[in-house]
Structure 1
Amino acid sequence: MTTIVDPDGPKLVNITSNPIPEGVRVGYFRTSDQVRLRYAYWPRTGDVHQGTVCLVHGRTEYIEKYFETIADFRSRGFAVATFDWRGQGGSDRLISNRSLGYVDRFSDYWCDLKSFHAEILLPDCPPPFYLVGHSMGGLVSLFAGAHDRLMFDRIFVSAPMVALDRQPLSMGGMAKAASVLSFLGLGQLPAGRRADKPMSEKTFANNPLTSDKVRYMRSVDVVRANPRLGIGKPTINWVAAAMAAMAEAGRDDFPGRIRVPLLMLAAARDQVVSSAAIEHLGLRLRTGSHAVIAGAQHEMFVENDFIRGQVFAAFDAFITDQSA
């Protein structure tokens, strides 16, 4: 198999430290509200047929970051389909400042996923379909399980963004405060700390994402090769939208609305999202459960080999062995 890239279509960054897995098809699709998103699809390798993993990323992420993980899924007999959310990666940006993360409302991400399911998964990918989501993509995945129990057979999420620790107000209170600022015309301004810096070799020490420097530097190399893939701080309007979604995920009735078999993984050393909130949600699920990965930081798919081994052992027990 060879890499297929439409000369007039989107490209994937292919560098020595992060080569493109062979056999990819890359393209654009349009959502139901006419936002153009970049996607990629890899068929399975070998003779084992397990279905398709639909992989959805966290805030600031892009397809290239998951090349190693995509290869891991394919080695298990899965095809893999993935895309960049609106406002990031190789998809359409929504405001003039490309360096900021923006979305009008969090339900727009659900629109992205529904459109991908209808335009790419159903016509082009072998069933059954399994949804795998990380961080922000994990929260969208939880809403997918609450909105439609037939789209995906099972849902597997790592470090889902269901709440943030160390905030001055509750998730609902933060959403209201940010919404007021957006109403006053400040929605496209950046939110975050002045000390926040783009990823580089210098920022690896004490970073909150991963203990694995080689995998950390892959992301640095990708954005260095194509700076247009990167985004930095979120906007105030993104904060308002995300906090409102997290507040909804924290409601008492939310666990009962999820009607798809679900496994959530929390990272014991997570400094980005609240592991305690993930555990609290996991204990109340009717069709799912949770597990905590000891020693892991937030980005478990790009953590060290020992932690990744635990993540894929959980994935295999929950999905691979069930689909065989």
Structure 2
Amino acid sequence: MTGVQAERFDRRAIPSGAEEQTWIGPDGWRFRQLEWRQDKPRGSVLFMTGRADFYEKYLETFHDFHSRGWNITTVDWRGQGGSGRCGAHPHVGHIDDFATWTGDLAALYDQWHASRPGPHVVLGHSMGGHLVLRALTENLIQPDAAILSAPMLAPAGGGMPEWTAQLIAKFMCVLGRAGRRAWKAADNPLEPQILRQGLLTHDAARYSDEFFWFRERPFVRLGPASWRWVERAYSSTRKLRNRRKLSRMDIPILILATSTDELVDHPTIERAVGLMPKAELKLFGPESAHEIFREVDDVRDSALNACFSFLDRVAPPQ
């Protein structure tokens, strides 16, 4: 399906008909927004990206959904992409608390839901998937369906218990390093080299698109997270893994995941799917890395087919 589309679609240009806009949050923060509407929409999708992401990385996926009749709305998270920075250093991803982001999402969702035709679907990748699911469990948003791609329900294990890693991050914050980067760019790594590509995608061409946009729009580039981000990430993921809240989740959810993900913990995702009564899992193996929507054509086709089949069943046109 998408392999043919990928040859025709220019991933390095804003699509004709898509509009780059500014959304103003309740506190006056200026968020960068992309809007791609249909004349006769099948429904509306709100797409929220992952940590250090920016919406240009997912233009091809927006195209896939748009070509199926969906309105597309996406907004760079506060402190990422073209939505400014929350810390002193432009290349360090910083946030005071993840609740700031879920508050932004709730406000955005309310305006989006009121002004876009249904069915309404919220899609989140990685950190965005974490924040979407947290907003769902806290009843901040109530879409007709949700799709989560490799959601960050727990960081991938690195041989250190979570409580130890969070304690270290707390200690670094106490030392006054809350806004400093928690790792070197080459360690995690966040530079254009093969090791980082292996964490994200097997598709070298799609991977290189990111660096095209870094050159074309340098303001979208973001590097390591801050120590405060790390500490708050452990706190937020632990809060999200509330069995009672997950078991009460009655919104249809499709989760795309890969068993070899080195950035988020796959077993935690499977446990969460088992708790949520209307959750479904589309599981990939070593053929897919973390960024499923930016993988090779066979993986993308399979993931997109799962998404469209899911939406036809749970969110038919109104």
1:99-178 matches, cutoff 5 A: 99-119=91-111, 121-148=112-139, 151-178=142-169
Alpha-carbon distance in structure 2 between the residues aligned to 1:122 and 1:95? 30
In structure 2, which of residues 164, 172, 177 is the aligned counterpart of residue 186 of structure 1?
Answer: 177
Is the 2:250–2:276 contact (alpha carbons within 8 Å) kept by the matching residues of 1?
no
Is the 2:102–2:131 contact (alpha carbons within 8 Å) kept by the matching residues of 1?
yes
1:237 partner letter: R
RMSD over equivalenced CA pairs, Å: 2.1
- CA distance 1:24–1:16, shift in 2 (3 Å): closer
Alpha-carbon distance in structure 1 between the residues aligned to 2:11 and 2:309? 30
* Length-normalised TM-score, structure 1: 0.88
Alpha-carbon distance in structure 2 between the residues aligned to 1:146 and 1:226? 35
What's the CA shift for 1:127?
2.0
Alpha-carbon distance in structure 1 between the residues aligned to 2:172 and 2:159? 16
- CA distance 1:290–1:17, shift in 2 (3 Å): closer
Alpha-carbon distance in structure 2 between the residues aligned to 1:243 and 1:36? 27
1:48-93 residue CA offsets vs partner (Å, 9 max, x unmatched): x321010000001011111100000011110000000011100021
Structure 2 residue 288 is the aligned partner of structure 1 residue 296:
yes
* Length-normalised TM-score, structure 2: 0.89
Structure 2 residue 210 is the aligned partner of structure 1 residue 210:
no
1:77-122 residue CA offsets vs partner (Å, 9 max, x unmatched): 1000000001110002111201000010011111121121233x13
What's the CA shift for 1:271?
1.0
Name stretches of at least 5 consecutive residues in structure 2 with no aligned partner: 1-8
What's the CA shift for 1:149?
7.4
- CA distance 1:243–1:150, shift in 2 (3 Å): closer
Alpha-carbon distance in structure 1 between the residues aligned to 2:102 and 2:80? 15
Structure 2 residue 274 is the aligned partner of structure 1 residue 244:
no
Alpha-carbon distance in structure 2 between the residues aligned to 1:16 and 1:310? 21
Alpha-carbon distance in structure 2 between the residues aligned to 1:16 and 1:304? 16
What's the CA shift for 1:168?
4.8
2:202 partner letter: S
Q: Relative to structure 2, which stretch is displaced further, 81-90 or 284-293?
A: 284-293
Aligned twin of 2:71 = 79
Segments of 4+ moved more than 6 angstroms: none
Is the 2:88–2:179 contact (alpha carbons within 8 Å) kept by the matching residues of 1?
no
Alpha-carbon distance in structure 1 between the residues aligned to 2:81 and 2:196? 25
Aligned twin of 1:11 = none
Is the 2:135–2:141 contact (alpha carbons within 8 Å) kept by the matching residues of 1?
no
- CA distance 1:225–1:182, shift in 2 (3 Å): same
Alpha-carbon distance in structure 1 between the residues aligned to 2:140 and 2:228? 30
What's the CA shift for 1:195?
2.6
Aligned twin of 1:97 = 89
- CA distance 1:265–1:112, shift in 2 (3 Å): same
Is the 2:146–2:253 contact (alpha carbons within 8 Å) kept by the matching residues of 1?
yes
Q: Relative to structure 2, which stretch is displaced further, 251-260 or 220-229?
A: 251-260
Is the 2:157–2:265 contact (alpha carbons within 8 Å) kept by the matching residues of 1?
no
Number of equivalent positions: 306
- CA distance 1:32–1:169, shift in 2 (3 Å): farther
Name stretches of at least 5 consecutive residues in structure 1 with no aligned partner: 1-14
Alpha-carbon distance in structure 2 between the residues aligned to 1:271 and 1:99? 23
What's the CA shift for 1:128?
2.0
Q: Secondary structure at the match of 1:323?
A: coil
- CA distance 1:122–1:205, shift in 2 (3 Å): closer
- CA distance 1:155–1:172, shift in 2 (3 Å): farther
In structure 2, which of residues 28, 31, 42 is the aligned counterpart of residue 34 of structure 1?
Answer: 28
Aligned twin of 2:3 = none
